[in-house]
Structure 1
Amino acid sequence: MSSNAERYRIAKLLVKTLLVQILILQRASAAVVGHKEDYQSSATGEGLYSTSDGIFILNATNLKSNIYESKTAWLVEFYNSWCGYCHRFAPTWKALAQDIEHWKDIVVIAAMDCANDDNNPVCRDFEVMHYPMLKFFSVDAKVGNLGIELDSGKDMNTIRHNLVNRLEKEQQEDRGSTWPNIAPYRSSDTKNLWKDIPESVKYNFLIFEVVDSYLATEVTLDLHKFDSLQVRGVTSENEPLTISLGVNKFPTVIALGRDGTQQTINARYLTREGLRKAIKDFLMLTGIVIGNPEDHSKDGTLTKSTEAPNKIEEAKDEKELEEIRTIGDVLFQLDLETALRYSIEHEIPMSKVIDGEKLEALKAYLNVLAKYFPLRRSGVLFLDALREIIDRRKSLSGVELRQIIKSVEEEMSPIYSGPKRWIGCKGSMEHLRGYPCGLWTMFHMLTVNAANHNKNIKEYPPQEVLRAMYGYIKHFFGCSDCSQHFVEMAAKDKMFQVQTIDEAILWLWRSHNQVNKRLAGDETEDPEYKKIQYPSKEQCSTCRYSNSSWNEVKVLRYMYRKYSYTGINYYNSSGKPDDDDTGDDLKIRQGRFALDKYTGQRRLGWDFTIFDISICVVLYVMSATILVLVCIKFAVKRTYRKKTYIHDLFGKV
């Protein structure tokens, strides 16, 4: 290709990029908050719960119609089906739903999968910043209410106690008027207990307990549907009533009959279950038999909508699986692209506001993507345009970012080589492997190809990709537990002290194996794809010595072989870029991304900066305009013929 042709091609690409950026900024400024997503991702799972778990499944269609203006309170878990901590938390959430099943006319236990692309904008609107996030919505919550975050605690009992605290506060603020009275009984006169009580109530049960105990409130809520009894709590601070009824230990249950009788109930076990059983046994002895309370919800709250629709379980395609197994241990382009798309289209825009350290982390992340991610020419320009736009911003919202991404993608489409789907990272079930696998794969690829690009550049900072990964996981990765582990691991294993590009590759490999070791046998492990110390013997027979210790020289060679551009497999993609694109891609990256740091004055081809290019464009337009005007002037003058005088022919005398 000649020098002039090369200059012309790059100049044309630069001008196109500038024009696209202007268009994008115009569209982004007019973006509507709450823009509805118009795509679906096959990369997201089908969720961790079903209605058989006693959990109400919420989605983008039915969430607001249920939680707003509801006659019950709602406790919603916003989770992400690929999040490892969410997997470990799921049994706790199911256990809570079963444990307080008889409270569901008071508070509904629900869940919403933010990994679903349709749900993603709603999760962002509700300011879900980490997973899992528990939010409580009051009775008759108004549209726009974002809920009150509850601590997920360390176990089911802690969550239940946090919920009880919230319900008590709700009643103190005059909400939940139809609920049983869960405030401690403070009067010293038991006659007040029978005021406004229906005739069907035969016994009042007082549970005397110490301050800060949850026992009485929980038993009250457990038994509130039975119309033949009422339960109230009394704390040890109510000394007059404690003394008058002869209570000298806590907890104690006193049964007060409507006929004025009083009896202490002996419970074998002084637990929630033990007191509940003691009350039922007492009533049975008096001829009152109570079974399970009627399983229903008041005011039709749970009949507003049905379970999340369109939950499709994809059947395994054995032929495709066999083809993938035959291909072997390779890097799939679709895995890389699906991880990238989920990251920038779904996960980062979840942030309500991106500024400060978070914005710098985003810039660093986009920088390494623009420099090293393998895409066709339009994809390279797509990533470069994103980084150029974000570089000018001091802050932006997730909604703005999402609109910018969509607008740039529309202008430069097609960006990707195939549909959003996992190949090598596909799990045996939809919610297993997927994005976490894809993210590890992508960063391994970035470290290797950063090394390939910069191996002859002495001043290149070898931590570039690792720092970008650190910032991304710290500020944007949705699994808060995973994020915390990675940040702690980076500090412990001295990630920021990596000295060479090869050591950066090995640091990430060691860290990946460390995480695999920690999660082996965990609930999040795919039973068909065990978390092993990789590479396995089948993948690299020379990567271990005879004593099973690692031969890191061979491991490094394996990493270069698998994660370099040349090792990418385009299975199910539209195919590799053509030869012209492949050559241009390298030239564009080397020319356009010459500097290592992400700055507003990055150098482009011929050592020009963005400012230089802008000045050149302005000067070009001005000079062209002047040239046109001069041409017009001369053309007009030629239309006038001057009158010839004799002295013009012979000169003046």
Structure 2
Amino acid sequence: MFINHYKSFYSLTKYSATFFYPFYHFSLILCWRFILFLFLIIFIQNRETLAIFADYTTVPKGTNPTLYDAHDFVVQLDNQSFNDTVFCFDSTKIVSNTLFLDENTNNNSLNDSIKSNNNFVSGEVQSEIIGRCTSIIVEFYSDWCGHCRAYSRLYKALAKDLLAWQGVIKLAAINCADPVNLDTCKDSSITHYPFLKYFPRNSLEANLNSSVTVGQILRSYQSLAQMRDQITRVLLTEYEENRYEDWPKFEWLEDVETYNNLWKGIDTHISTLIVLFESNTNSLVGAQLLLDLSGYADKVVARRCVNNALANALQIKDFPTFAVFRRGERSPAYIAELRRLLLNEFEQLLRNDSKETSKRSMNKFSSRKKFASGSENIEQFCSNFPQICKRAYFVSELDLLKSARIALFNDVQMIGGENITGQNLRALYEFVDILANYFPHRTIHPQLRETEINGSQNSREINEFNEKDNIEFLNASSRARVVFRSFI
């Protein structure tokens, strides 16, 4: 009986194996295809990760408005592109990000704009510059911050002024008011806005468990000249430490005994050499000229020189002066004092700016002149009649509410962390107490705000002005004060 059952089981097993073999083979094929599919997905994801490298055309992710656009020559960063762009190390692994490009942005038009605004970058060098790791300056800002909005004008002008330096350094910005960038700004130890940090080329990302702050803090000077000098100094310091081969050669030119020594170490295909003679080693003019000419590295080599016998041989006594040498020629093709050239350009710029500034000042003054009752001194009028003058200055209620919310829910967490104790907790308590007691919740009635003070009104009529009966309470702001009080 046992044998019969065994034979029956054997026959069934044999039959089952014969019957299910095609399905087993098919399942095996599907399994291998699924594994290959997973590998493909992982590869694509890694490729996309490598592609998150921001450039001038990148549109950052987020919901908040930004202070810059693609034509400001400021690289806009977000939480995903920050590390790959700032901590760029191996340029061979970098692929320009096409995932977050604005579909309305025309790359060709942007390249044309770069060429038209940058007289120092040749076409041959342009493609090499784009795919190369550079040092980078990042402005951490908040879109609702008034100081940031005001500083953005200078930052845009600085980006265009230093566009010729893009092979060495680029300017970038990230909006810390956008929730998607909260972690990045928190990790960067941002304490105020606008906040500038200089990241050297090949900077390494800080370890999550490390207390080391990455990046060098820069001053947000209010003039282009001061910003340019500050950036030049940090670039010279970085060059002293790393001696990058593809950066301008900032070393001082050694004594030259013969004409051939002047061209020593310069590639034979370079036909032009520019030497800038300076009076002392503290001058930054020569370094800035080298950076301006860095886009022509395939055609021109520029060097700076101080206390050199070559200056005596050329009878150069005024500094800074530059000399242009052509390969094969024994004497310089051109010698000129650099400061005269810059002075002429500056005077021309000053004349143009003076007209525009005067025009803007007149327009601004004319728009507010009606509040002065014929007085030509707006400051004196506002000092005498503050109740009347303040009607010319008002701020959006929505902007105030938004700034308070971001300060409490974003900035406090970004600076103080998850657990706020000690002095930080006390400071937070005092801040919320101020909001609860003094957050603006009243406004002058719109009809009263539009009332004009004409020249027939005398000082007595103005001093008798009483706005108490025309006060309008703002419901949202009044409710906000109650909410602030509940926090305490």
| Mapping 1:255-270, distance limit 5 Å | 255-259=324-328, 261-263=330-332, 265-267=334-336, 270=339
The TM-score with structure 2 as length reference comes to: 0.56
Does residue 103 of structure 1 match 2:165? Answer: yes
| Mapping 1:334-373, distance limit 5 Å | 338-351=402-415, 359-367=425-433
User: Residues of 2 paired with 1:248 and 1:333: CA distance?
Assistant: 63
Match of 1:444 in 2: 440
Q: Is the 8 A contact 2:256 2:310 kept in 1?
A: yes
Deviation at 1:167, TM superposition (A): 0.9
Q: Is the 8 A contact 2:322 2:338 kept in 1?
A: no
> Deviation per CA, 1:516-575, whole angstroms, max 9, x where unpaired?
xxxxxxxxxxxxxxxxxx5665359799997463557x434555x515xxx5599xxxxx
Deviation at 1:117, TM superposition (A): 1.7
Q: Is the 8 A contact 2:77 2:174 kept in 1?
A: yes
Deviation at 1:241, TM superposition (A): 3.7
Letter in 1 for 2:427: A
Deviation at 1:245, TM superposition (A): 3.4
Match of 1:229 in 2: 300
User: Residues of 1 paired with 2:320 and 2:221: CA distance?
Assistant: 25
Among 430, 441, 448, which residue is 1:538 paired with? Answer: 448
The TM-score with structure 1 as length reference comes to: 0.43
Deviation at 1:367, TM superposition (A): 4.1
User: Residues of 1 paired with 2:85 and 2:430: CA distance?
Assistant: 41
Does residue 50 of structure 1 match 2:69? Answer: yes
Does residue 131 of structure 1 match 2:193? Answer: yes
User: Residues of 1 paired with 2:396 and 2:309: CA distance?
Assistant: 75
| Distance change >3 Å, CA 166–CA 569, structure 1 → 2 | closer
> Deviation per CA, 1:263-301, whole angstroms, max 9, x where unpaired?
26244863576899xxxxxxxxxxxxxxxxxxxxxxxxx
Deviation at 1:63, TM superposition (A): 0.8
3-state SS of paired residue (1:109) = strand
| Distance change >3 Å, CA 52–CA 158, structure 1 → 2 | same
Q: Is the 8 A contact 2:401 2:477 kept in 1?
A: no
Deviation at 1:79, TM superposition (A): 1.6
Identity of matched residues, %: 25
User: Residues of 1 paired with 2:424 and 2:79: CA distance?
Assistant: 27
Deviation at 1:334, TM superposition (A): 7.6
| Distance change >3 Å, CA 222–CA 342, structure 1 → 2 | same
Among 220, 231, 243, which residue is 2:290 paired with? Answer: 220
| Distance change >3 Å, CA 535–CA 172, structure 1 → 2 | farther
User: Residues of 2 paired with 1:210 and 1:73: CA distance?
Assistant: 29
Match of 1:177 in 2: 245
Does residue 195 of structure 1 match 2:257? Answer: no
User: Residues of 1 paired with 2:84 and 2:415: CA distance?
Assistant: 24
| Distance change >3 Å, CA 153–CA 193, structure 1 → 2 | farther
Q: Is the 8 A contact 1:170 1:176 kept in 2?
A: no
Match of 2:467 in 1: 555
Letter in 2 for 1:270: R
Q: Is the 8 A contact 1:44 1:115 kept in 2?
A: no
3-state SS of paired residue (1:160) = helix
Match of 1:616 in 2: none
User: Residues of 1 paired with 2:424 and 2:226: CA distance?
Assistant: 32
| Mapping 1:267-286, distance limit 5 Å | 267=336, 270=339
3-state SS of paired residue (2:467) = helix
Letter in 1 for 2:448: E
Among 321, 326, 338, which residue is 1:252 paired with? Answer: 321
Does residue 78 of structure 1 match 2:140? Answer: yes
Letter in 2 for 1:346: N
3-state SS of paired residue (2:138) = strand
Match of 1:4 in 2: none
Q: Is the 8 A contact 1:79 1:113 kept in 2?
A: yes
Q: Is the 8 A contact 1:139 1:176 kept in 2?
A: no
Q: Is the 8 A contact 1:80 1:114 kept in 2?
A: yes
3-state SS of paired residue (1:110) = strand
Q: Is the 8 A contact 1:201 1:230 kept in 2?
A: yes
Deviation at 1:171, TM superposition (A): 0.8
User: Residues of 1 paired with 2:285 and 2:320: CA distance?
Assistant: 8
Letter in 1 for 2:429: K
User: Residues of 2 paired with 1:86 and 1:77: CA distance?
Assistant: 9
Question: What root-mean-square deviation, in Å, do the aligned CA atoms of Structure 1 and Structure 2 show?
Answer: 4.0
Letter in 2 for 1:138: P
Letter in 2 for 1:444: P
Deviation at 1:360, TM superposition (A): 2.8
Q: Is the 8 A contact 1:537 1:543 kept in 2?
A: no
3-state SS of paired residue (1:205) = strand
User: Residues of 2 paired with 1:343 and 1:557: CA distance?
Assistant: 33
3-state SS of paired residue (2:440) = helix
User: Residues of 1 paired with 2:477 and 2:277: CA distance?
Assistant: 69
Number of residue equivalences: 318
Deviation at 1:163, TM superposition (A): 0.9
| Distance change >3 Å, CA 352–CA 361, structure 1 → 2 | closer
User: Residues of 2 paired with 1:568 and 1:255: CA distance?
Assistant: 68
Deviation at 1:210, TM superposition (A): 2.6
User: Residues of 1 paired with 2:299 and 2:403: CA distance?
Assistant: 58
Deviation at 1:83, TM superposition (A): 1.8
User: Residues of 1 paired with 2:396 and 2:341: CA distance?
Assistant: 54
Does residue 207 of structure 1 match 2:276? Answer: yes
User: Residues of 1 paired with 2:229 and 2:170: CA distance?
Assistant: 16
Gaps of 5+ in 1: 1-42, 277-330, 374-441, 449-508, 510-533, 571-575, 577-584, 599-653
User: Residues of 1 paired with 2:264 and 2:452: CA distance?
Assistant: 83
Letter in 1 for 2:235: L
> Deviation per CA, 1:486-506, whole angstroms, max 9, x where unpaired?
xxxxxxxxxxxxxxxxxxxxx
Among 61, 82, 106, which residue is 1:63 paired with? Answer: 82
| Distance change >3 Å, CA 254–CA 365, structure 1 → 2 | closer
Deviation at 1:350, TM superposition (A): 3.3
User: Residues of 1 paired with 2:83 and 2:451: CA distance?
Assistant: 56
Among 142, 156, 162, which residue is 2:204 paired with? Answer: 142
| Mapping 1:411-450, distance limit 5 Å | 443-445=439-441
Deviation at 1:168, TM superposition (A): 0.7
Gaps of 5+ in 2: 1-61, 90-132, 207-212, 346-394
3-state SS of paired residue (1:206) = strand
3-state SS of paired residue (1:351) = helix
